Structure 1
Amino acid sequence: MVSYYHFQRMNKALPDPGSWDEYFETFLAGNVVWGSWFDHVKGWWKKKDSHPILYLFYEDMRKDPKREIRKIMEFLGKNLKEEILDKIVYNTSFDVMKRNPMTNYINEIKMNHNLSPFLRKGVVGDWKNQFTEAQNKQFNEYHEKNMADTSLDTHFRGLS
């Protein structure tokens, strides 16, 4: 939700998301540009039963990028030399990608980087600095209710 909010703030092609508090309610209601996040995620999660899809999580990539890249290699049936794997780990690190104009989308016509850079922070759990305790409680309840019919573990952790 936090990433969507900042992306919508900086993307001139999208409607202004309003304040964080307004966006929080809009997001939970599923009234964002791409529709309900919950429906979107659950729809793709169900596809794993009929399509070969590899799911990776940002938290896992930050924790152990080499392990996650090996998962991709295995999924694709590839076996790369260790030095190539190390180059991939380096060049796909958040800090390197943030400095690379090929990955950190810089288009001042469509994006207002004064409001928010395309690649913002890359910090796992930084959403805790955006949510109030009441919003965290509300989101956790909403998430539990809307994701109850799925086995997906989204790595969400409360403020407590």
Structure 2
Amino acid sequence: MKIGIADTTFARVNMGAVAIDELKRHATLRIERYTVPGMKDLPVACKKLIEERGCDLVMALGMPGGKDKDKLCAHEASQGLQLAMLMTNKHIIEVFVHEDEAKDDRELAWLLEQRTREHAVNAVKLLLYPRELERDAGTGQRQGFPDAGPARQ
């Protein structure tokens, strides 16, 4: 099995290196990395990782800025990732951390790393251990910040 890592130079933490470190902690997989300048470049990078480099699943890692223009670019990138999934019939795990999710640089760095690591574990589960995801269904899992937990009736 092979996992692709598509990341950007725009992010303020090396999310690709974090993802690769976490993937290696949980499974023995081949890993292909493709780094692009910005988020809107991620869809084609993911598609190339799947179609040209034979990846079974790809993680798309990006950090939109906090301005309205950045949020629009993140939305466009997200739509491109959805299209790439449909075109290739492969999962692309979107791991975006918006700069304005954190109150300061320290929290931002922590969140970028934490969310990336938790989604790397999700990628391994999706690819190799899908029953583990079934067991977590409906439990309010969140990546980065604390889990919400199930809704009480």
Q: TM-score, length-normalised on structure 1?
A: 0.27
Bigger Rg, which one: 1
Q: Return the structure number with greater strand share.
A: 2
Q: TM-score, length-normalised on structure 2?
A: 0.28
